[in-house]
A and B are shown apart, each in its own frame.
Chain A
Amino acid sequence: SQELEQSPQSLIVQEGKNLTINCTSSKTLYGLYWYKQKYGEGLIFLMMLQKGGEEKSHEKITAKLDEKKQQSSLHITASQPSHAGIYLCGADVASGTYKYIFGTGTRLKVLA
């Protein structure tokens, strides 16, 4: 069940360029998770955001959750070929009950 919209669906950038991937929901998100999938491998957890306006960074990747907690962006600074893969957002959309949904995925290629 994929109910989070991600954009763009795919992205090709030159090495060194910055890029942003968005994850949008029509519902309030109670926890937003960013994952990366390398080709042929499983998901690698990147970051989790819970509070409106929260921002986290890890190496050259920064993720933000907007104040309304309905949209998150993932920003990569000075992209490298090692950043290539599929980025997926996942989220809790119900408080107190179990409901976890996934984004549609964004495929990133970084040209050397």
Chain B
Amino acid sequence: DTAVSQTPKYLVTQMGNDKSIKCEQNLGHDTMYWYKQDSKKFLKIMFSYNNKELIINETVPNRFSPKSPDKAHLNLHINSLELGDSAVYFCASSQLGEDEKLFFGSGTQLSVL
């Protein structure tokens, strides 16, 4: 039973399209994150939500909008996709407090043509 699941695993789309990536966690965690993995494989945080509220919002174009309908879900919607948005996006969750171990989804590889 997957703890953090992301869909789709692969996403190929044309420039200018709008797309969404979904993330769900069944761990009961109250914090969820979106990370972007750049071409050098470094992970950079984009957003963090705690109990459906935005707590971290790094310098990300406003074409990226996270949506958290409940604390088990954090979806990433991207408008007007650009070539530079091509990357792997990882969702993660953790429980704030003493043991904040991050649990990651398997990633979504986005290719913008």
Instruction: Give the total of A residues in contact with B, Cβ under 8 Å.
Output: 23
Instruction: Report B11-48 CB contacts with A as 1/0, cut-off 8 Å.
Output: 00000000000000000000001010100111101001
In the complex, the answer to whether A86 meets B43 with C-beta atoms within 8 Å is no
Instruction: Give the total of B residues in contact with A, Cβ under 8 Å.
Output: 24
Please report whether the interface of chain A is mostly helix, strand, loop or mixed according to DSSP: strand
A41 interfacial by beta-carbon distance below 8 Å: yes
* Beta-carbon nearest neighbor of B40 in chain A: A48
Residues of A within 8 A of B43 (CB): 33, 35, 43, 45, 90
Residues of B within 8 A of A21 (CB): none
Taking Cβ atoms with an 8 Å cutoff, the residues of B that contact A are: 33, 35, 37, 40-43, 45, 48, 55-56, 58, 88, 96, 99-107, 109
